[in-house]
């Protein structure tokens, strides 16, 4: 069924579907210019004149890369096609992070599955070295059939996680309520494909089947409309009149339609929310969970 053929009763899924269709045309950078392969002994490859990057995992090793630049705020997009088939035990991690004991970090992690089962998208936010803010989702499409766009919009007011243009999670700046927010530490983009069969699939019950190796994830369509950290300063894109174009994300706030899209995703596809886990926090939920 096409987007146009669906009924108005399915308005939010329609929006998600149409956004999915539009998202795959995002213009990308060049991986040779934007990233360094950091480990894997040849298992990571840049192909197609810098337009495609692949990471592979076998029993001996996984692989990974990192951005040449550091960023302090921005709108960052990457298209990923995840490991197909039986990917149980594998994790494809794509995240922003600073360094050190009190690092900040913003995570997408894709937890492998048995063939035919939905992937689990694991998200987390670290501030000043403290994480424990996990939210998990079952993706509403097969992320191995085609590329899909995973985005982070990070400005001084909030961090928004997006899938194919639809927001799935927001972490707001609540410093005025004593909650630390990532705003001072520049972060690089990192990605890796690695074996985590002690926990990744059904809590470690399903182990990696090495007969399926090598496992491969693919990347394209990188775009960073972001403030680049250079010589201890953050250099941001020039703003156009009216606040549109490059840098428009700096003041972005979700409108009613975006909030409804996020509510639809969370209602139908969120499988874990730390803010609802009172057993984990018997002394009371984290402060950000108690503020509407």
pLDDT tens by residue, 153-212: 999 999 999 999 999 999 999 999 999 999 999 999 999 999 999 988 888 888 999 999
Q: Which residues face 39 on adjacent strands? A: 64
Known catalytic residues? Answer: 105, 109
The domain spans of the chain are 29-290
Backbone dihedral angles phi then psi of residue 221, each to the nearest 5 degrees: 65, 30
Q: Which residues face 275 on adjacent strands? A: none
As given in the structure block, the two tokens for residue 290 are 């108690």
Q: What does the pLDDT read at residue 272?
A: 97
Listed in order, strand segments (DSSP E) in the chain are 35-39, 45-47, 52-57, 63-67, 71-81, 90-97, 105-111, 120-126, 135-138, 148-155, 158-163, 166-172, 188-195, 215-230, 233-235, 270-273
pTM of the entire predicted model: 0.88
Q: What does the pLDDT read at residue 241?
A: 53
Cβ(64)–Cβ(91) below 8 Å: no
Residues 6+ apart with CB under 8 A from 115: 85, 86
d(CA 131, CA 125): 6
Please state, in angstroms and as integers, the Cα–Cα distance from residue 113 to each residue in 82, 123, 223, following that order.
Answer: 11, 17, 28
d(CA 146, CA 53): 15
- CATH (residue range 29-290): 2.60.120.200
Q: What does the pLDDT read at residue 116?
A: 79
Cα 255 from chain centroid (whole Å):
21
Q: What does the pLDDT read at residue 14?
A: 37
In DSSP notation, 164-219 reads TTEEEEEEE--GGGT---S-SS-BEEEEEEEE-TTTTTGGGTSPP-GGGPSEEEEE
Q: What does the pLDDT read at residue 3?
A: 39
What whole-number percentage of the chain has pLDDT above 90?
78
Taking 70 as the pLDDT cut, the residues of the chain under it are: 1-28, 240-246, 292
Please state, in angstroms and as integers, the Cα–Cα distance from residue 135 to each residue in 168, 194, 277, following that order.
Answer: 10, 21, 11
d(CA 92, CA 222): 16
Q: What does the pLDDT read at residue 9?
A: 36
- Half-sphere exposure of residue 78: CA atoms within 13 angstroms, side-chain side: 25
């Amino acid at each position: 069924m096409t987007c146009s053929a669906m009924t108005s009763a399915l308005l939010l899924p329609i929006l998600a579907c149409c956004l999915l269709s539009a998202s795959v045309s995002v213009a990308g950078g060049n991986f040779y210019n934007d990233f360094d392969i950091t480990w894997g002994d040849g298992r990571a490859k840049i192909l197609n004149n810098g337009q495609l990057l692949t990471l592979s995992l076998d029993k001996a090793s996984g692989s990974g890369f990192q951005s040449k630049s550091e960023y302090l705020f921005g709108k960052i997009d990457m298209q990923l096609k995840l490991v197909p088939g039986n990917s149980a035990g594998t994790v494809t991690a794509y995240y922003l992070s600073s360094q050190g004991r009190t690092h900040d970090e913003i995570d997408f992690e894709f937890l492998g599955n048995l063939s035919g089962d939905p992937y689990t998208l694991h998200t987390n936010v670290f501030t000043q070295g403290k994480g424990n803010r996990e939210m998990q989702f079952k993706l509403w499409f097969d992320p191995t059939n085609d590329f899909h766009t995973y985005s982070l919009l990070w400005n001084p007011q909030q961090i928004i996680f997006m899938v194919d243009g639809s927001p799935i999670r927001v972490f707001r700046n609540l410093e005025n309520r004593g909650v630390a927010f990532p705003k001072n530490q520049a972060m690089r983009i990192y990605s890796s494909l690695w074996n985590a069969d002690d926990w990744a699939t059904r809590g470690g019950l399903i182990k990696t089947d090495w007969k399926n190796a090598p496992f491969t994830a693919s990347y394209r369509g990188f775009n960073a409309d972001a403030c680049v950290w250079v010589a201890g300063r953050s250099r941001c894109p020039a703003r156009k009149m009216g606040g549109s174009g490059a840098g428009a994300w700096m003041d972005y706030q979700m409108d009613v339609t975006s909030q409804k899209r996020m509510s639809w995703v969370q209602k139908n596809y969120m499988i874990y929310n730390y803010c609802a886990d009172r057993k984990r926090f018997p002394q009371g939920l984290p402060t950000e969970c108690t503020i509407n």
